Structure 1
Amino acid sequence: MGVPTTLPTWTRDQVAARILAGDNILILDGKVIRVPNSWLKAHPGGSITIQHFIGRDATDEVEAFHSDDTLRRMQGYAIGSVDVADEGWAPLQPPIHLGWIRKVGDDGVLHWHNEATPEYSSEDTELSPASQILLVKRQDVPSDHGPSLSALQPAPTSLSLKMQAQHSAAYKELHKRIKAAGLYQTRYITGYGPEILRFLLFSVSSYVAYQKHWFFISAFALGALWHQLVFTVHDLGHLAVTHEWAKDRLISILLANWVGGLSVSWWVFTHNIHHVVTNHPSHDPDIQHLPFFANTPVFFKNLYSSYYKRELTFDRFSHYIVLVQHRMFYIVMSLARFNLYRLSYTHLWVTRNEPMKVRGGRWSWWLEFAGLVFWWCWYGRVLRGCGSWQTGLMYLLVSNMVPSPLHVQIVLSHYSRSTADLGPTESFPHRQLRTTTDVVCHPSVAFLHGGLHLQITHHFFPRLPRHNLKEASWLVKQFAKEQGLEYAEFGFFEGNGEVQSTLKGVADQLRIMHMVADAEIKESLQAKRD
């Protein structure tokens, strides 16, 4: 599709009107981009990632996640232009942040549906700023009118639109420097060469130990293989290896599904959303870990998850677990891989009938499904070959618990950081620096972190090959210093202490709430006796 030589200039009110009429409108490099509903469902990164940018300037995020070729093709969906000026685009509140989505009704036509109720902050604190909007109380009410024009206006924020535009402009210059330095070029020999050797080492070790009936060693080596494979699958999911969707997806399915028993498409959908709404209690699935963990007291409110499409119920079981969450942290993390199986299979079941018209049709879904069947065949045979159910259970637990440091690391990168919602005015680099931290480690053990201890730089440039993150991180640190922004980093043990402190702090607040409630009950009973 060709781009018109001249595009009409749109006002903010015109953009809002088209959104209220049901169009998926976002701003990209000064252009008004209309995303067709057919593409929304076929988007490789999931439809929800796009919905979080309706009415907003998505330039930084879109350029961070897409190749130059894809960006050029996106221009074909431009239907207008806007006057961004020095202060940048004055954003609108995406309807999904207000609990509004578009769904096909019984008549086969798209209608607005109110899936949850927005709760606006009644205070202006660091934990609950005036700009914060959380989703509570699950609903599914069809509506002909949808959100109102006034609702699309962002809540008050302490952020300066001009300053956020400055951060955004500086980020664009930083991105140019990253490209000019050749940091998007994959280091196949020096980067992935040593990793392939580790894969072979762990695979052979597991096989030889199994043949000799050294089942514990075999299970440990298999778990170590899964632990290391996840980092490569992570790169492939971000198209950071061959930089071609079909090739990276094919390799990632073979590694994730056929060897690891997990769905790569589930991971891509979840992880991309985590990147664009990092640490938002209502939208980021990577911090929605009830009933086991709550890293902020706002989870006591029975929040609604726009990703899982259900209420995160803070029930009696959650109460008991959260009260001791800091003590149970490592136990739960050691078993976290079993939850990934559940999430993987649920995702494949839910997406079984989706059209997937993009990039080669449904071959990837069927290949994933076949991979999981194959995985259960060979892994089930391994467990049965252990000779007894006790040994098989040991093998099952050890092989799945060894990769647990990965889950701990992911939590370290975000749990102790801000979960406040500063609204759509916040720029991409500002949000990532506020919600993410690095884990400092010695180069000799960096492979245990898979290179993802440099989490801030990864969040800045998700498609950047992992082996180039260290070099790029120096440029990101310089950027943060020049922009007067915090670049958070701490050691592994210090980071664990920070997470433990966060979890204990939330548990203590819950305990205080119980004490206050008990005191009020006693006071009420005493008043009745008197």
Structure 2
Amino acid sequence: MTVTTRESIAARILAGELLFILNGHLIRVPQQWLSAHPGGALTILHFVGRDATDEVEAYHPKHVLEKMRAFSQGPVELSADGWVPLLPPICTGWIRKLSPDGSLHWHKEATPEYSENGSSSQVLLVKKLDAPHTSGPSLASIQPPPTTLSLKTQSQHSAAYKQLHKRIFAAGLYQTRYISGYGPEVARYIFFSLCSYFLYQRHLFFLSAVFLGVLWHQVVFICHDLGHVGVTHSWHRDRLIAIFLADFVGGVSIGWWVDNHNVHHVVTNHPSHDPDIQHLPFFAITPAFFKSLYSSYYKRELTFDRFSRAVITAQHRLLYVIMSLARFNLYRLSYRHLWITRDDTGRARGGRWAWWLEVSALVGFLFWYGRVLHGCGSWQTGLMYLLVSNVVPSPLHVQIVLSHYSRSTTDFGPFESFPHRQLRTTTDVICHPYAEFLHGGLHLQVTHHLFPRLPRHNLKEASYLVKEFAREQGLEYAEFGFFEGNGEVLDTLRGVANQLRGVADSEIHEAMNAKTD
């Protein structure tokens, strides 16, 4: 069988083909699959020209991996340390768009900014370009910048991770614990629901709102599992359950969350690409956001304006205040996502039925929740119920930021292995076994990021194997206590705020000197 060279693959990528490497073989993704991929288009685009073996095997079950063989173009040319990666065009702002005549052409949506440090592989997107571009990416633009990482070492990490994954399978950790795992959780959901209902019937509206908020807080955890197809391991069954719990019970679109979360997993903590850290004007966990970065996920510039400056300088003081109201932003993002995807008919993720079912479920949520608020008797009591029920789940948002906000946001480029990237950008939260249900698996994010489809109730057992793997590979397995983790996040936010104040003072000083001159 003919071996495809790196030069040939680079030329085909420049011609618009979607190619990545899987177990030493070239996989060609049909253009029509880009919009149909259940994991979203961006999760493919970020691996064009790269070896995606570890990521693909982590995110897909065996029957899907077997289907991928049909798209193999044969073996590729490998170095002694494996595939030498190319830089995906999306990393430098290039995407393919439809022309009026139906053909595809290259479009540059942003300008790349390379690190001033010649040894760094950092590439950020800093400016949206509105002017049309007739050319496309060049051979030079898809060559990765220099890296300080050893390709040999990264290859060793990857090989060791594959062995770890085999151990996880052999230990039976992909088997869902329905009775001992989800049984107690379902009992808790029913208990919180009944408490909220009976307290409401007795006009104890404040306590009713508290229990509804606790229910929403807890239900999110199983919705997270369902979004990863980690409960029944059937996309359709998990999505149906998730739409009921997330959309109808909680009022948040599971489709939006999955779309957002899948991207977060493959480009964790990248300032230009990970939507989970793109929270201007309220938070900036790296000074890179001072540059008004372009978001490849939101397709817009993250403008760093005067309001952003004012908020960011006090972000460490405002963290818990803003987080207390964060659930309202989830509603906004949910409705925005469903509006944007209203014409998305080609999805393998359920086609139109999933979209319509989500819309119907959200309408149902607005109906029953609206009736609850109206039944409070007065607008003041209704407002209280609205605020309490939505503020009570706010610890969830704090739990989410603990996993990543204090971790590295450096971009090491396509040379970095999957396990190295996930361990570098993620941390665990140490908690007492009796408090684990309050964290709902979010305290074991390192293992979850390495094995996202792993059933949540098996994460703890798997984490022992991951810690052993990290020690053997000389990698950091970060974990903090809950309060220590909060301190780490606040230190990160405070550090960025102090840097911003330093920049502002420097600008004022320069302006005064210029005026004096």
Give your verdict on TM over 0.5. yes
Kindly state the Cα deviation for residue 81 of structure 1 after the two structures are TM-superposed. Answer: 1.3
1:410 counterpart residue number? 400
SS of equivalent to 1:192: helix
User: Is it true that 1:81 corresponds to 2:75 in the alignment?
Assistant: yes
Q: 1:476 to 1:110 in 2, by over 3 A?
A: same
Q: 1:361 to 1:479 in 2, by over 3 A?
A: same
2:162 counterpart residue number? 172
Q: 1:97 aligns with which of 85, 91, 97?
A: 91
Query: Does the CA-based 8 Å contact 1:100-1:115 persist in structure 2?
Result: yes
Kindly state the Cα deviation for residue 514 of structure 1 after the two structures are TM-superposed. Answer: 1.0
Query: Does the CA-based 8 Å contact 1:113-1:141 persist in structure 2?
Result: no
How many angstroms apart in 2 are the aligned matches of 1:520 and 1:86? Answer: 52
Kindly state the Cα deviation for residue 82 of structure 1 after the two structures are TM-superposed. Answer: 0.9
Spell out the pairing of 1:449-528 with structure 2 (5 A cutoff): 449-527=439-517
- More displaced 10-residue stretch of structure 1: 422-431 or 397-406: 397-406
How many angstroms apart in 1 are the aligned matches of 2:156 and 2:134? Answer: 39
How many angstroms apart in 2 are the aligned matches of 1:374 and 1:381? Answer: 11
2:326 counterpart residue number? 336
User: Is it true that 1:268 corresponds to 2:258 in the alignment?
Assistant: yes
1:441 counterpart residue number? 431
User: Is it true that 1:364 corresponds to 2:354 in the alignment?
Assistant: yes
* 1:340-360 Cα shifts (integer Å, max 9, x gaps): 111011000000101234154
How many angstroms apart in 2 are the aligned matches of 1:105 and 1:325? Answer: 43
Aligned residue type for 1:76: A
How many angstroms apart in 2 are the aligned matches of 1:367 and 1:232? Answer: 19
How many angstroms apart in 2 are the aligned matches of 1:340 and 1:148? Answer: 39
Aligned residue type for 2:375: G
1:132 counterpart residue number? 122
* 1:160-181 Cα shifts (integer Å, max 9, x gaps): 1111011000000000000000
Query: Does the CA-based 8 Å contact 2:272-2:296 persist in structure 1?
Result: yes
How many angstroms apart in 2 are the aligned matches of 1:272 and 1:359? Answer: 13
How many angstroms apart in 2 are the aligned matches of 1:421 and 1:444? Answer: 37
How many angstroms apart in 2 are the aligned matches of 1:478 and 1:427? Answer: 18
How many angstroms apart in 2 are the aligned matches of 1:523 and 1:337? Answer: 46
Query: Does the CA-based 8 Å contact 1:215-1:395 persist in structure 2?
Result: yes
Query: Does the CA-based 8 Å contact 1:452-1:466 persist in structure 2?
Result: no
Kindly state the Cα deviation for residue 141 of structure 1 after the two structures are TM-superposed. Answer: 4.4
2:298 counterpart residue number? 308
2:66 counterpart residue number? 72
Kindly state the Cα deviation for residue 85 of structure 1 after the two structures are TM-superposed. Answer: 4.5
Aligned residue type for 2:53: T
User: Is it true that 1:35 corresponds to 2:25 in the alignment?
Assistant: no
How many angstroms apart in 1 are the aligned matches of 2:409 and 2:163? Answer: 28
* 1:206-242 Cα shifts (integer Å, max 9, x gaps): 0000000111110010011111110000000000001
1:120 counterpart residue number? 114
2:46 counterpart residue number? 52
2:246 counterpart residue number? 256
* 1:30-70 Cα shifts (integer Å, max 9, x gaps): 11001111111001111011000000000000000000000
2:308 counterpart residue number? 318
Number of aligned positions between the proteins:
517
Query: Does the CA-based 8 Å contact 1:303-1:311 persist in structure 2?
Result: yes
How many angstroms apart in 1 are the aligned matches of 2:136 and 2:66? Answer: 32
TM-score, normalised with respect to structure 2:
0.99
How many angstroms apart in 1 are the aligned matches of 2:301 and 2:219? Answer: 33
User: Is it true that 1:15 corresponds to 2:5 in the alignment?
Assistant: no
Kindly state the Cα deviation for residue 8 of structure 1 after the two structures are TM-superposed. Answer: 2.4
How many angstroms apart in 2 are the aligned matches of 1:435 and 1:331? Answer: 25
Kindly state the Cα deviation for residue 145 of structure 1 after the two structures are TM-superposed. Answer: 3.1
1:4 counterpart residue number? none
Q: 1:21 to 1:142 in 2, by over 3 A?
A: farther
How many angstroms apart in 2 are the aligned matches of 1:293 and 1:249? Answer: 31
- More displaced 10-residue stretch of structure 1: 457-466 or 400-409: 400-409
Kindly state the Cα deviation for residue 120 of structure 1 after the two structures are TM-superposed. Answer: 0.4
1:232 counterpart residue number? 222
SS of equivalent to 2:383: helix
Query: Does the CA-based 8 Å contact 1:253-1:371 persist in structure 2?
Result: yes
**Percent of pairs with identical residues:** 68
Q: 1:429 aligns with which of 397, 407, 419?
A: 419
SS of equivalent to 1:117: strand
User: Is it true that 1:203 corresponds to 2:197 in the alignment?
Assistant: no
Aligned residue type for 1:20: L
Unaligned runs of 5+ in 1: 1-6
Aligned residue type for 2:428: D
Kindly state the Cα deviation for residue 107 of structure 1 after the two structures are TM-superposed. Answer: 1.8
2:101 counterpart residue number? 107
* 1:395-424 Cα shifts (integer Å, max 9, x gaps): 111111111111101101100000000010
- More displaced 10-residue stretch of structure 1: 436-445 or 356-365: 356-365
How many angstroms apart in 1 are the aligned matches of 2:157 and 2:75? Answer: 22
How many angstroms apart in 2 are the aligned matches of 1:357 and 1:300? Answer: 36
1:214 counterpart residue number? 204
- More displaced 10-residue stretch of structure 1: 473-482 or 516-525: 516-525
SS of equivalent to 2:97: strand
1:3 counterpart residue number? none
SS of equivalent to 2:91: helix
Kindly state the Cα deviation for residue 84 of structure 1 after the two structures are TM-superposed. Answer: 2.9
Query: Does the CA-based 8 Å contact 2:38-2:347 persist in structure 1?
Result: no
User: Is it true that 1:193 corresponds to 2:183 in the alignment?
Assistant: yes
CA RMSD after TM alignment: 1.0
SS of equivalent to 1:275: helix
SS of equivalent to 2:179: coil
